[in-house]
Amino acid sequence: MTEKQSRRASLPAGVERNALSTLVATWFHVGLIRPAPGTWGSMAAVPIGLVLALVGGTYLVLAGAVLVFVAGLWASHRMIGGMTDETESDDQPSIVVDEVAGQLLALTTAGVSPFLFVLGFAFFRLFDIIKPWPIGWIDRRIPGAWGVMLDDVLAGLFAAIAVWIVAFLIQNYV
């Protein structure tokens, strides 16, 4: 066995062979930051959401969420496919592209308000962590890349609705 083959064999499965998918799944290695890689992934999405909102408004933020979702399906599928069977869950902590997609979705109703952006971040993390039904059901029952991505997208949808309700209340009653 050559030195290069030996080095390749010692790397976690999927890292060298699928470098682009690993880069996307870990959101440019943000998912490797410890502790709380999901929170770091969500935080990485906030400035992206702000730029998209400033440039193109709600629809561009939504388009960004959809694009990240599609890329996340591909990347997480490739990364999960490269892992060994010793892992208990497909949703590995280092895969944070799902948090990025969900966080962007959560920010679609925040406009460009700093307060609503912080609230969108907080609501998304809350729903992603506590996983109320049906988010928790999806997290436990849907395998593979779809399960990795869908629970966070649903948490993002819940957060977007919560932000929209708060924005509505502020606009109409404060």
Rounded Cα–Cα distance for residues 144 and 52 (Å) = 29
Rounded Cα–Cα distance for residues 87 and 14 (Å) = 14
Q: Render pLDDT for 20-70 as a digit per residue (tens, 0 to 9).
A: 999 999 999 999 999 999 999 999 999 999 999 999 999 999 999 999 999
* Extended beta strands in the chain, E state: none
Instruction: State which amino acid sits at residue 56.
Output: G
pLDDT of residue 18: 63
pLDDT beyond 80 at 166: yes
Rounded Cα–Cα distance for residues 12 and 104 (Å) = 29
> Is residue 131 within 8 Å of residue 162, measured between CB atoms?
no
Summarize the confidence of residues 93-121 as an average pLDDT: 97
pLDDT beyond 70 at 17: no
pLDDT beyond 90 at 128: yes
Q: What is the CA radius of gyration of the chain?
A: 17
Summarize the confidence of residues 126-134 as an average pLDDT: 97
Contacts of 104 (CB under 8 A, 6+ apart): 45, 48, 49, 52, 61, 62, 64, 65, 68, 156
